Copies of this chain bind each other. A is one copy, B any other.
């Protein structure tokens, strides 16, 4: 498959601070590629380097096969959707969309046709004469995308464009954006700090931290097989324990945590007996009242502190009997545990295969 965007060892330093640290990746034509990271991790700087607003201190950026070194943003085949969209308030919707085409000196008739066609495509036919401030948040979103797509860029860059939207609208736009991308087939590079946006929409997600990519993988792999503790913590909720490896066989290890409790978990080969390690277990991997027959599970009893009811996404906040650490346990969606109240003791367990174990750096 053709590579639309290739970033090779891109580095950006501001004085002594390294914002982006030798990042390399490639995006194939038509992919939805997300860069996910906390604020300040360097993802915006990386995107601005691709768009051409920042010059890399070192490394190469190649778009559509051409090296972009020294080429200014107005001559790159990549367009950027800004966080606050940056629609021109002094122009109508049609003038906004035509802006880039006019810069290319296309004919009036061609411009008119293309504007009408792209308005159809984003589902807003006949909106050409509206003013920007007459549009709703979701409509502005789609016009901003239309304004870039009409230029038929090799790569469309998106800088957290859903951040400014209302909660309900954001949920809806996630699905809409994914659908639109698969229809037009343009390569999307999307940056966000919202793991749910990245997981739902993307073909591939890169998790970025302190200027580096920690892991690049498909959403499902990222969630189920995080390769670093940072990824395990940042992508999805987790319960975390620290302890020492007391014993191990080929695939699993036994970890002794602070209060002497022992857990068996799937373990990487690099982990030896005596190493300190960090264990992550997802709330939905903790099973309430597990099948008593299943003797592979790690089992324990907890006291329910409070029920965090949140519809399909409800959880229990519980505490080891006698301990002072909180454990978060997902409540199954089938309402079979509706009877549980704060203060109840319940049995819980988890399968060693769903544990995620990392050696702890000394």
Interface residues of A in 306-345 (CB under 8 A from B): 306, 308-313, 317, 330, 332-334, 338
Per-residue contact bits, chain A 158-181, to B (CB 8 Å; 1 contact, 0 not): 000000001110010011001100
- For A199, give its contact among B219, B237, B311 (CB under 8 Å): B311
Per-residue contact bits, chain A 207-237, to B (CB 8 Å; 1 contact, 0 not): 0000000000001100100000000001111
A236-B311, A283-B312 are known contacts. Are A193 and B175 too (CB-CB below 8 A)? Answer: no
A194-B167, A333-B333 are known contacts. Are A219 and B309 too (CB-CB below 8 A)? Answer: yes
- For A223, give its contact among B175, B199, B309, B332 (CB under 8 Å): B309
A306-B178, A330-B333 are known contacts. Are A196 and B312 too (CB-CB below 8 A)? Answer: no
Contact yes or no, A175 B283, CB < 8 A: no
Closest Cβ–Cβ distance, residue A229 to chain B (whole Å)? 15
Could you say which residues of chain B place their CB within 8 Å of the CB of A167? 193-195
- Assess whether A39 is interfacial by the CB under 8 Å rule: yes
Count A-side interface residues using an 8 Å CB cutoff. Answer: 40
- For A332, give its contact among B309, B311, B333 (CB under 8 Å): B333
Contact yes or no, B312 A330, CB < 8 A: yes
Closest Cβ–Cβ distance, residue A359 to chain B (whole Å)? 24
Q: Measured between alpha carbons, how far is A152 from B29 in the docked complex, in Å?
A: 61
Contact yes or no, A308 B200, CB < 8 A: yes
Of A166, A168, A237, A283, the most chain B CB neighbours within 10 A belong to A168
Residue of B nearest to A335 (CB): B224
- Assess whether A278 is interfacial by the CB under 8 Å rule: no
Q: Measured between alpha carbons, how far is A282 from B334 in the docked complex, in Å?
A: 12
Closest Cβ–Cβ distance, residue A73 to chain B (whole Å)? 29
Residue of B nearest to A342 (CB): B182
Could you say which residues of chain B place their CB within 8 Å of the CB of A283? 312
- For A312, give its contact among B171, B174, B175, B284 (CB under 8 Å): B284
Instruction: Enumerate 24 A-B pairs (CB-CB under 8 Å) in ascending A order.
Output: A38-B166, A166-B193, A167-B194, A167-B195, A171-B237, A178-B306, A179-B306, A195-B311, A196-B310, A196-B313, A199-B309, A199-B311, A200-B309, A200-B310, A220-B338, A223-B309, A237-B311, A282-B311, A282-B312, A284-B311, A284-B312, A312-B330, A313-B313, A333-B333
Q: Known pairs A200-B308, A223-B309, A282-B312; list 6 more (Cβ under 8 Å).
A: A39-B166, A199-B310, A220-B338, A235-B311, A283-B312, A284-B333
